[in-house]
């Protein structure tokens, strides 16, 4: 099998995030001490250093912070998907994350547009979904 570059490689700390995605949940870390949410996930709160942090399901609602339509990427399998939209979205809960925007004509992309998460399966074995975003439908 040709190497592919789109499969996440979880470690002990990040495995719950990717397991959540495979079950259609978008998990972020929430601090019970100060209330801050953070991303990427850490075993402690970067705001107050409390270790009383837990995974919480995000709403899946976000706004588009910025994006790029990628026309050039030789790495498989992206080379077969060109062009695609790489994007940074601001989650309703605060953190910003890299993702893809799908189901949106390129000329309708606009900063601050409301988005909603969609879990797209990209591999059967291993079973892998990725959290992507599409224009919010209501």
Partner 1 sequence: MKAEHQTVISGVGQSDVGRRLFRDPLELTLDACVEAIHDAGLTTKDIDGIATYPGPGGEPPGFSGAGAVEVQDALRLELGWWSGGIERPGQLGAVIDACMAVAFGLATHVLCFRSVFEGSAQGGGGRAAVMPGGSNRAAPRASGFMEWVLPYGAPSAAPWIAMMAQRHFHEYGTTPEQLGQIAVNARRNAALNPKAIYTDPMTIDDYLASRVIASPLRLFDCDVPCDGGTAMIVSHVDTIPDLRKPPVRVEAVGTALRGRPSWDQFDDLSTMAMRDAAVQMWSRTDLKPSDVQVAEMYDGFSFITLCWLEAMGFCGKGEAGAFLEGGHNIARDGVIPLNTHGGQLSSGRLHGFSFLHEACVQLWGEGGDRQLTSNPQVGVAAAGGGPMAGVLLLTKS
Binding site for Zn ion (CB under 5 A): 31, 33-34, 36, 45, 47-48, 50
- Min dist CB 2 to partner 1, Å, is 9
- Please state, as a whole number, how many other Cβ atoms lie within 10 Å of the Cβ of residue 117: 22
Which helix or strand (DSSP H or E) is residue 55 part of?
strand 53-57
Candidate residues 58, 67, 93, 104; the one interacting with partner 1 per rule CB under 8 A: 67
Binders of partner 1 among residues 70 to 129 (CB under 8 A) are 70-76, 78-79, 81, 84, 86-88, 96-100, 106, 110-111
Candidate residues 48, 57, 59, 65; the one interacting with partner 1 per rule CB under 8 A: 65
Q: Given the complex with partner 1, which of 34 and 81 has the nearer CB atom? A: 81
Which helix or strand (DSSP H or E) is residue 31 part of?
strand 27-31
Residue 48 within binding range of partner 1, rule CB under 8 A? no
Q: What is the dihedral of CA 37, 40, 41, 47, to 10 degrees?
A: -50
Question: Which residues face 123 on adjacent strands?
Answer: 128
């Amino acid at each position: 099998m040709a190497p592919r570059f789109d499969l996440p490689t979880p470690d002990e700390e990040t495995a719950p995030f990717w397991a959540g995605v495979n079950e259609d949940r978008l998990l972020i870390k929430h601090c019970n001490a100060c209330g801050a949410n953070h991303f990427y996930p850490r075993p402690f709160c970067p705001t107050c250093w409390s270790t009383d942090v837990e995974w919480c399901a995000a709403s899946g609602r976000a706004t588009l912070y910025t994006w790029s339509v990628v026309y050039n990427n030789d790495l498989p399998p992206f080379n077969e998907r060109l062009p695609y939209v790489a994007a940074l979205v601001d989650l309703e809960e605060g953190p910003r994350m890299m993702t893809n925007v799908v189901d949106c004509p390129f000329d309708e992309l606009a900063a601050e547009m409301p988005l909603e998460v969609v879990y797209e399966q990209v591999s059967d074995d291993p079973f892998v979904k990725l959290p992507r975003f599409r224009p919010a439908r209501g």
